[in-house]
Amino acid sequence: MRIVFMGPPGAGKGTQAAILSRLFGIPHISTGDIFRANVSEGTPLGIEAQRYMDAGEYVPDGVTNAMVRDRLTHGDAQPGFILDGYPRTVEQVAELDAMLRSSGQKLDAVIELTVDIDVVVQRLVQRAAEQGRPDDTEDVIRRRLEVYAEQTAPLIAVYKDHGILIRIDGLGDIDSVSNAIASAINP
């Protein structure tokens, strides 16, 4: 299974991707988590990415695509993977397509978690209080939502046209959302 999670920040992509990853026994690949790990280790990639992340902007496509290209060559991703937070731009969609095509693979499903924007802001403010993520301040949250609406939301139509989009209401409790996802993928 090769699956992509889409939806605005705070929709629950990370939580649901982790659950599905355990269920299917395939890796959960979160570009945000990889960037954060690099930031905390102070790697050159982390130093490059941090200024974009702190401002709520996207890390440049060249940097992000190279990182994902490398991650998808690891042995654990050969049977399948769950991408969380990638692709997020038109260029990333094209790059992911090219990466998969070159190894004779394709995406099986793109899961869009739909949520009410007010709920998302509330969740992100709460996560900021609990986890203290530097990009969870109110101004940055607002900017991240704008960037999502401008650059990432339009990609959903592309995957809809490809016939692989699955829309799931992300507003329920964690178990009911994950049950809805599992039955949509594995009816």
List the one residue out of 169, 32, 27 whose CA is nearest residue 111. Answer: 169
Q: What does residue 102 show for φ and ψ, rounded to 5 degrees?
A: -65, -20
Residue 8 binding ligand AMP, by CB under 6 A: no
Instruction: Point out the residue whose Cβ comes nearest to ligand AMP.
Output: 32
The correct pick among 5, 24, 86, 159 for binding ligand AMP (CB under 6 A) is: 86
d(CA 2, CA 80): 5
State the nearest-atom distance from the C-beta of 122 to ligand AMP, in Å.
16
List the one residue out of 130, 142, 31, 122 whose CA is nearest residue 82. Answer: 31
Q: Which of 69, 71, 133, 160 is catalytic?
A: 133
| Full DSSP string of 10-71 | TSSHHHHHHHHHHHHT--EEEHHHHHHHHHHHT-HHHHHHHHHHHHTPPPPHHHHHHHHHHH
Q: Which is nearer to ligand AMP, 92 or 178 (CB)?
A: 92
The correct pick among 7, 8, 9, 12 for binding ligand AMP (CB under 6 A) is: 9
Q: Which of residues 92-111 bind ligand AMP (CB under 6 A)?
A: 92
Catalytic residue annotation:
13, 88, 127, 133, 144
Q: Would you tell me which residues interact with ligand AMP (CB under 6 A)?
A: 9, 31-32, 35, 52-53, 56, 58-59, 64, 85-86, 88, 92, 135, 144
